[in-house]
Structure 1
Amino acid sequence: MARIVDPRCPRCGAPLPVQPGMDTVTCQYCGARSLIDRGRKPTTAQVPQGMHVVRVAPPSGNAAVVTVMAAVAGMVTASAIAGFLAFGPSGASGAGARPLLGAGPGTYFDDRPMIADVNGDGAPDVIGKSSIPGREAWIGAYDGRDGKPIWKTAALAKDATTPEARRAVVLDRVVSVDALGKAQAYDLRTGKPSWSVPLGEKAKRVCQGDGVVVVETVDDAKHGLDPASGARRALAKDAACKPVPSSNEGEAPGYQLVNSSRFDALGLPRVYGGVEGMTAHHALVPNGPGPRFLLGSRSKGSQVGMAAAVEKTKVLWKTVVPGVDPLTTSTSGVDEAAYEGGHLVVPYDMKDHGEGTRLACFDGATGKRLWDVQIHKRSQVSHGISTSANDVFYATWTALYVFSLRTGELRYMIGTEF
């Protein structure tokens, strides 16, 4: 019998681990439930309210062909029609698939990349959650020079793989806090377990205090943990907690990405009218002095992605983000970026999902476009972007793409493309 491989979730586009004999499947990322149709062609009345339908077609030749349809109260969505995948017997995607470094067939890198020197050679490496969907997930470390594996943890418990889980690199420990509030630390050099501590609440953020690991929980409490033993450490009231490489959304050691609700407090221009011709909904705010960067879309005419640099409310430069015909790109603007060594890197989506996502790099001081490259022509779902002094790390649902920060050249990938 041909192996049934992962179709996409009709709601969010994440892979669904459909296995033989399953009648329903739940997306591990967005929680959407789908009914599996193997040729029964359920009627609208047979589809529960709010449930999608994932149709698994009979295998053809040596490949199992999977077609994804969405039915919400009997309505088929455009995103579901786009969910057509063909897989070969190795588990890699169909025509044009490439073997990727640092991973075997069917292995995904599905995390915001965390950058730290793992093997002590002075060069930054990559840490993040990886998985074989439907089987297991783990935290892995990969050599930053070529993407080859350095170590991997034992299989993670299910609660450590959900969107509510948090991961970070703090004081030579990789700390994973699961959805039940259990903090598990691993040695940064070896990946071996160091200690585990129950916090009693879900984590909101992991950061670094004065020689201590700090976990901020959703009840606004702060838990200080000794990095060597996990023992509880008292925290001074209002003690600073600096950002670390982590899965924390919108936060990096060198900057923070904020939404418009914080513009006034940070002294940034207004969302509407603050920068002529642009609507800005997000801002990248580097630590220390220098320009700040607004992200959004053009306010007049067709909505295309724009970026601008400002000093307080003074506009230093502004530009359209796409380096290709702007009308071929997504109308939702841009809301994600990274900043390193004076380089602002901004990913943007093409209008046609089959054309994927691109990456543009600008000189932070002048706005000059330095390079603009295709990331892939597959998923438009991002797990996050990180940078080192030399490289840009961009993660999708299934793979990590590593580009030269100076030239935009693709250096290597980790994971398996859709």
Structure 2
Amino acid sequence: MARIIEPRCPRCGAPLPIQSGIDVVTCQYCGARSLVDRGRKPTTAPVPQGMHVVRVAPPSSNAAGIIVMSVVIAMVVVGAAAGAFLLRASGPSRGGSAPLLLGPNMYFSGRPMLADVNGDGAPDVVGKSNIPAGEEWIAAYDGRNGKPIWRTAALTKDAASHEARRAVAFDRVISIDALGKVQAYDLRTGTPSWSTLLGEKASRVCQGDGVIVVETVDDVKHGLDPATGARRELAKGAACKVVPSSNQDEAPGFRLVSWSEFDELGLPRSSDIEGMSANNALIPSGPGPRFMLGSRSKGSRVGMVAAVDDKKKVLWTTVVPGVDPLTTRTTGVETGAYQGGFLVIPYDMKDHADGTRLACFEAATGKRLWDVQIHKKSQVSSGISISANDVFFASWTALYVFSLKTGERRYMIGTEF
């Protein structure tokens, strides 16, 4: 019978039942991996990056007593700790292949994708989550309150890499790893539906007429049947609808373009707007103004935005920060989001300790409607999405959700860095 020793995880303090003969142990709550040091002999070998060391006593003649006591303690403590670290959605898990983790050791990372997962008619959140320095997965959260709905099994290293692509098309969540493998999950339950190989890395996912279209980096378009993943022939020049995805430069309702596309799209050139230098633009998919993003052209590069019509006429311009502009990072504006006449733009404060803010403007007039603090943490952004009612801003480790109408913070998913 194996001897059980019950030390604690160096990162989160959860119990670590360690069997004899095991040299590496993984915490079942926070995912931290630790080397097991039984003190038999000294070692000068370096500890691998990201790992801890757990020191336990070597076996002794009191093993029988230790076995019984340790097993009892472990069962009690593990049961209590599980309640503190694991939280399941109300009711039975709807097909998710792993416990739903929501606690002080879970991060939300990647751009939030909005889709009605639970069928209540309101957009929910789908995105990548992870344990710090541990496994990563895709999860769905209720858009009304941030409660977890389902999560997939752990992603492979290639599916979690920065070269991977994710999207929601039809009733499928699509994950394409850095080797061109497509894995589809059921949008309602998170269970695997089908998989196929593209033979190349993906650059974009969109939705054609009854077909999922994956564009690869070699400019080839692959048609996939939503139900089975079988290859489908694509009509030449067929339209392809923008879908929620991990791509930062487009979303249902708008897309972001750089200065190199201004002429092609009939936009003013970078220096054509008086007092402003524009490097990017936000283009809504429907009628109405288009928005030039950049900075003041003279002096400190304070963030600015301008609205123009389809004749390149400037409708309005304004400074983005709603606080003293010189207390903000003078690097200009690069991104934003648009929905139903509302334009939202994040901007960073000069001092990292003051974090990031979010400003909302009335698209037709440039009137500032609200300006709020997102957080006072890391200024790394993972993307912004917007619905008819809410703004979803992802930092490096957490997703912050605000009311589109008032700027009031509604909830947060993940852990602040």
TM-score range, shorter chain: 0.7 to 0.9
- Secondary structure of 2:262 counterpart: helix
Name the aligned partner's letter for residue 183 of structure 2.
Q
The answer to whether 1:365 aligns with 2:372 is no
* Counterpart Cα distance in 1 of 2:129 and 2:9: 25
For residue 249 of structure 1, report the CA deviation from its aligned partner.
1.9
Q: Partner of 2:213 in structure 1?
A: 214
For residue 20 of structure 1, report the CA deviation from its aligned partner.
5.5
- Secondary structure of 1:205 counterpart: strand
Q: Partner of 1:303 in structure 2?
A: 301
The answer to whether 1:263 aligns with 2:262 is yes
Q: Partner of 1:3 in structure 2?
A: 10
Q: Partner of 1:9 in structure 2?
A: none
The answer to whether 1:138 aligns with 2:137 is yes
Q: Partner of 1:285 in structure 2?
A: 283
Is the 1:4–1:19 Cα contact (8 Å) retained in structure 2?
no
Residue-by-residue CA offset, 1:370-397 (whole Å, 9 max, x unaligned) = 0000000001010000000000000011
Name the aligned partner's letter for residue 235 of structure 1.
L
* Counterpart Cα distance in 1 of 2:409 and 2:280: 27
* Counterpart Cα distance in 2 of 1:278 and 1:18: 48
Unaligned runs of 5+ in 2: 1-7, 13-30, 36-45, 54-83, 86-99
Is the 1:18–1:25 Cα contact (8 Å) retained in structure 2?
no
Is the 1:140–1:151 Cα contact (8 Å) retained in structure 2?
yes
* Counterpart Cα distance in 1 of 2:101 and 2:114: 16
For residue 133 of structure 1, report the CA deviation from its aligned partner.
2.3
* Counterpart Cα distance in 2 of 1:237 and 1:2: 57
Q: Partner of 1:356 in structure 2?
A: 355
- Secondary structure of 1:240 counterpart: coil
* Counterpart Cα distance in 2 of 1:19 and 1:180: 27
- Secondary structure of 2:241 counterpart: coil
- Give the % identical residues: 71
Report how many aligned residue pairs link the two structures.
337
Q: Partner of 1:320 in structure 2?
A: 319
Q: Partner of 2:414 in structure 1?
A: 415
Q: Partner of 1:245 in structure 2?
A: 244
> Which runs of structure 2 are paired with 1:26-45 in the superposition (5 Å)?
none
* Counterpart Cα distance in 2 of 1:300 and 1:353: 25
* Counterpart Cα distance in 2 of 1:346 and 1:134: 30
Is the 2:32–2:134 Cα contact (8 Å) retained in structure 1?
no
> Which runs of structure 2 are paired with 1:171-250 in the superposition (5 Å)?
171-250=170-249
Q: Partner of 2:273 in structure 1?
A: 275
Is the 1:171–1:227 Cα contact (8 Å) retained in structure 2?
yes
Is the 2:204–2:214 Cα contact (8 Å) retained in structure 1?
yes
Unaligned runs of 5+ in 1: 6-16, 27-35, 39-89, 92-100
* Counterpart Cα distance in 1 of 2:313 and 2:47: 58
* Counterpart Cα distance in 2 of 1:334 and 1:258: 13
Higher relative contact order (CA 8 A, sep 6+): 1
Residue-by-residue CA offset, 1:342-362 (whole Å, 9 max, x unaligned) = 000000000111111000000
> Which runs of structure 2 are paired with 1:104-143 in the superposition (5 Å)?
104-143=103-142
TM-score, normalised with respect to structure 1:
0.77
Summarize the Cα distance change of 1:257–1:413 in structure 2 as closer, same or farther, 3 Å threshold: same
For residue 134 of structure 1, report the CA deviation from its aligned partner.
2.5
Q: Partner of 1:400 in structure 2?
A: 399
For residue 301 of structure 1, report the CA deviation from its aligned partner.
1.3
Is the 1:113–1:384 Cα contact (8 Å) retained in structure 2?
yes
For residue 130 of structure 1, report the CA deviation from its aligned partner.
0.4
* Counterpart Cα distance in 1 of 2:165 and 2:121: 26
Is the 1:116–1:169 Cα contact (8 Å) retained in structure 2?
yes
Q: Partner of 2:292 in structure 1?
A: 294
For residue 417 of structure 1, report the CA deviation from its aligned partner.
0.6
Residue-by-residue CA offset, 1:191-238 (whole Å, 9 max, x unaligned) = 110000011110000111111001100011111000000000001122
Name the aligned partner's letter for residue 125 of structure 1.
D
Name the aligned partner's letter for residue 280 of structure 1.
A
Name the aligned partner's letter for residue 349 of structure 2.
M
For residue 165 of structure 1, report the CA deviation from its aligned partner.
0.3
* Counterpart Cα distance in 2 of 1:25 and 1:342: 48
The alignment's C-alpha RMSD in Å is 2.1
Is the 1:130–1:137 Cα contact (8 Å) retained in structure 2?
yes
* Counterpart Cα distance in 2 of 1:202 and 1:25: 29
- Secondary structure of 1:264 counterpart: coil
- Secondary structure of 1:111 counterpart: strand
Q: Partner of 2:339 in structure 1?
A: 340
* Counterpart Cα distance in 2 of 1:227 and 1:18: 37
Q: Where in structure 1 do 4 or more consecutive aligned residues deviate above 2 Å?
A: 1-5, 17-26
Is the 1:103–1:416 Cα contact (8 Å) retained in structure 2?
no
For residue 3 of structure 1, report the CA deviation from its aligned partner.
2.3
Residue-by-residue CA offset, 1:63-96 (whole Å, 9 max, x unaligned) = xxxxxxxxxxxxxxxxxxxxxxxxxxx99xxxxx
Q: Partner of 1:98 in structure 2?
A: none
Is the 1:117–1:125 Cα contact (8 Å) retained in structure 2?
yes
Summarize the Cα distance change of 1:142–1:354 in structure 2 as closer, same or farther, 3 Å threshold: same
Q: Partner of 1:165 in structure 2?
A: 164
Is the 2:293–2:304 Cα contact (8 Å) retained in structure 1?
yes
Residue-by-residue CA offset, 1:153-201 (whole Å, 9 max, x unaligned) = 1111111101100000000100000001000000101111000001111
